Amino acid sequence: MKLGRAALGLLLLAPLAVRAVEPISLGLALAGVLTGYISYPRLYCLFAECCGQKRSLSREALQKDLDSKLFGQHLAKKVILNAVFGFISNPKPKKPLTLSLHGWTGTGKNFVSKIIAENIYEGGVNSNYVHLFVATLHFPHASNITLYKDQLQLWIRGNVSACAGSIFIFDEMDKMHAGLIDAIKPFLDYYDLVDGVSYQKAIFIFLSNAGAERITDVALDFWRSGKQREEIKLKDMEHALSVSVFNNKNSGFWHSSLIDRNLIDYFVPFLPLEYKHLKMCIRVEMLSRGYEIDEDIVTRVAEEMTFFPKEERVFSDKGCKTVYTKLDYYYDD
């Protein structure tokens, strides 16, 4: 940092020194200082994003983000915290970290992927080392599946070659053409190198609505039995969830070798949200917009949402996804 200030100071003083120094000599001197400054990796990273710039992830910071921004997801919080922190803290992982997040729309899957990215890279999902694939956008045509496989392998290989700790997020896995995701199997396996490239420090996150029915069935059974949702354990649904996704013909994981070869480290269930969770989302959104919490508006927005099953009205059918747009009605200037 001191060198940077010195370089900056030299630039600022240049007009005063120009009379005493020949223009060519001054130019060479400045160029020498700045070249040395930029060529030194640590100093260069003060001005541009660098791979691994924030790999020393803080467990406390990640937990704080999960606790303050994610509601009704005790299973996801625990799994994500332990899995991500443990992986980043391991200097020599045996394979990439692979997380498959499942649940209905609006339960927090995309939100969690953003939290993970933000805790690892300064730019979060906008970082040069975080890559988002949306099935319906990037892989729309079933007739091009062979081309997509080649492109996907090249894209991942190129980005991991540039940054070993790259993060890849695959959204809408339930809409991805079956067989396509198997193209990345070699990158997720227990190999030190694949064609000279190590993928062991990369993170792959899959987001899907597939399996949401199974998750809802378990959550509803607990509710009907008078049990708290916090009593649900990962073992109550993880195996059934993986089997459900594997056998779902409408899922990109249908009969996938990634599941068959146990290359997905965690199947993370996102439970359907209840009325009280919607109110938590609304309060946080109010604060993020700079408004004071108005409980009257919180209640009115929450009550506008629709719930299921039809008779019991236990869970929000859209999670927290639409509460943000509904708030616009009350704060429309």
Pick out the residues of the known binding site for ATP: 103-110
Exposed, middle or buried: residue 7 (CB in 10 Å: 0-12, 13-18, 19+)?
Answer: middle
Three-state secondary-structure class, residue 164: coil
Exposed, middle or buried: residue 123 (CB in 10 Å: 0-12, 13-18, 19+)?
Answer: middle
List, as one string, the DSSP characters of 101-163. Answer: EE-STTSSHHHHHHHHHHHH-TTGGGSTTEEEEEHHHHS--GGGHHHHHHHHHHHHHHHHHH-
* Residue of 259, 156, 166 whose CA lies nearest to 210: 259
- Residue 224 CA to residue 233 CA, distance in Å, equals 17
**Where is the binding site, in residues?**
103-110
Counting runs of H as helices and runs of E as strands, what totals does the chain give? 15, 7
Hey, what amino acid is at 126?
A: N
List, as one string, the DSSP characters of 250-319. Answer: TSTTTT-HHHHTT---EEEE-PPPBHHHHHHHHHHHHHHTTPPP-HHHHHHHHHHS-EESTTT--EESST
- Positive or negative, the CA dihedral 105, 111, 112, 116 is positive
- Residue 251 CA to residue 155 CA, distance in Å, equals 23
| DSSP-H helix ranges across 163-274 | 185-188, 212-224, 238-246, 257-260
Token pair for residue 85?
A: 């922190």
